[in-house]
């Protein structure tokens, strides 16, 4: 039957319903601040929002959004190629290009459509795409639509990338290499310095998805490529407005003037209604804050380091390095479900992630840190995990 392939998910949903646990689609009933809310009837610290700089609740961004609604209305009701291209969209694109020190930028309605649209369009039949094995779902969705030959290289393994590029020979002239800045599940950072060196040696074009690293890394917040000092080797920067910038939408910037022609070939751009004016306005204000207030990044990394150390000291298995994504890895699904609910009961909301969304067979309790978290809140999160150990829900020796 048509629905047979969904039976495993239906069984999982039934298991969750039987335990009265809702880790997927948990409803936030009220926001108190950027770091506190009412989720499933409980007041909690929000540690699963990707609100890295706390700007979704910044009064300046809210006011900019409110003023845009008064001026432009609630929506564009059309695509950028029809009736949905406003002066504000062009202003945001110009500011994104300037932020990245290039001349060209495209803004999309979501981050997913940005990375999917670019990866589906840049390479086509007869071309090659080399992508990191742990690439985001949006990237996989795009490359499948491209018609290009798709080759995976081992996650964060420059030597494997080099080996596969060597095998391509002259075909590297038509090869797109795709990597991310910070990988969203375990928070590990790509070795972009090595990736760029390999690209220089063998050729190809490099696209870096800075979704979780834009606003977070780099001297001026441009992302992991800036932090690695290899921006001149990157042909296309992609990312989202829904993380550090606190809104929704996506972008691609490039030094290549061809991006302006590519714009008119990207189906998720052509056939999707454009960003609402209120989101454009809040995003522009958030971008201004990212440029003007580097202390937000300092505070974010202080919080990330504190949480990473605290959970490491508890003996929990985390990702390989400190980043604003701090994921606790567990081997057992039932254990992950019970721990997620226990954390919620203890006043901490985190994300639960299950295979195949995780990069391995492990289950994740994924914490995302914000600059808006106080030191006391970080310590409360650590304390909530300590209570899982005290209650016997996690045995560090068997965590993953």
- Domains detected in the chain: 4-57+294-398 (3.90.1150.10), 76-275 (3.40.640.10)
pLDDT of residue 311: 97
pLDDT of residue 21: 82
Count helices and strands (H / E) in the chain.
14, 14
Q: State the catalytic residue, choosing from 109, 146, 184, 274.
A: 184
| Cα–Cα dist 179/226, whole Å | 14
71 classed as catalytic: no
184 classed as catalytic: yes
pLDDT of residue 356: 84
pLDDT of residue 398: 52
pLDDT of residue 368: 97
Q: State the catalytic residue, choosing from 89, 104, 199, 243.
A: 243
212 classed as catalytic: yes
Q: Taking the CB of residue 20, how many other CB atoms lie within 10 A of it?
A: 8
Distances (CA, A) of 73 to 9, 65, 87, 284: 40, 11, 14, 17
Q: Cα–Cα–Cα angle for 24, 307, 190, nearest 5°?
A: 75
The pTM (predicted TM-score) of the whole model is 0.94
| Cα–Cα dist 321/344, whole Å | 25
Average pLDDT per block of 10 residues along the chain, 400 residues long: 88 83 87 95 96 97 98 95 94 98 98 97 98 96 97 97 96 97 95 98 98 97 98 98 98 98 96 97 98 98 98 95 96 92 97 87 94 98 96 71
Q: State the catalytic residue, choosing from 212, 244, 282, 373.
A: 212
| Cα–Cα dist 258/264, whole Å | 11
């Amino acid at each position: 039957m048509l629905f047979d392939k969904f039976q495993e998910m239906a069984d999982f949903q039934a298991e969750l319903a039987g335990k009265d646990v809702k880790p997927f689609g948990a409803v936030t009933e009220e926001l108190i601040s950027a770091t506190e809310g009412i989720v499933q009837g409980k007041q909690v610290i929000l540690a699963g929002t990707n609100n890295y700089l706390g700007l979704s609740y910044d009064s300046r961004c809210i006011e900019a959004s409110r003023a845009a609604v008064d001026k432009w209305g609630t929506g564009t009701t059309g695509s950028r190629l029809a009736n949905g291209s406003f002066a504000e969209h062009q202003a945001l694109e110009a500011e994104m290009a300037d932020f990245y020190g290039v001349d060209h930028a495209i803004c999309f309605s979501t981050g997913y459509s940005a990375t999917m649209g670019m990866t589906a369009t840049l390479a086509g039949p007869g071309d090659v795409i080399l992508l990191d094995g742990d690439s985001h779902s949006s990237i996989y969705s795009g490359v499948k639509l491209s018609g290009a030959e798709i080759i995976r290289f081992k996650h964060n393994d420059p030597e494997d990338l080099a080996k596969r590029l060597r095998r391509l020979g002259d075909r590297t002239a038509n090869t797109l290499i795709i990597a991310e800045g910070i990988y969203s599940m375990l928070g590990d950072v790509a070795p972009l310095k090595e990736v760029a060196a390999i690209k220089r040696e063998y050729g190809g074009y490099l696209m870096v998805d800075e979704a979780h690293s834009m606003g977070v890394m780099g001297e001026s917040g441009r992302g992991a490529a800036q932090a690695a000092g290899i921006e001149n080797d990157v042909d296309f920067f992609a990312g989202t407005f829904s993380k550090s910038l606190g809104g929704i939408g996506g972008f691609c910037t490039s030094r290549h003037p061809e991006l302006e022609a590519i714009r008119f070939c990207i189906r998720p751009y052509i056939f999707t209604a454009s960003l609402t004016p209120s989101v454009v306005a809040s995003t522009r204000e958030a971008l201004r804050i990212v440029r003007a207030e580097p202390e937000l990044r300092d505070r974010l990394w202080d919080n990330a380091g504190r949480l990473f150390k605290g959970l490491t000291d508890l003996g929990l298995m985390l990702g390989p390095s400190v980043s604003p994504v701090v994921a606790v890895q567990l081997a057992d699904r039932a254990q992950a479900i019970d721990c997620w609910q226990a954390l919620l009961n203890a006043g901490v909301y985190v994300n639960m992630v299950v295979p195949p969304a995780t990069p391995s067979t492990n289950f994740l309790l994924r914490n995302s840190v914000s600059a808006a978290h106080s030191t006391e809140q970080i310590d409360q999160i650590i304390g909530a995990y300590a209570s899982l150990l005290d209650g016997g829900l996690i045995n560090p020796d068997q965590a993953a």
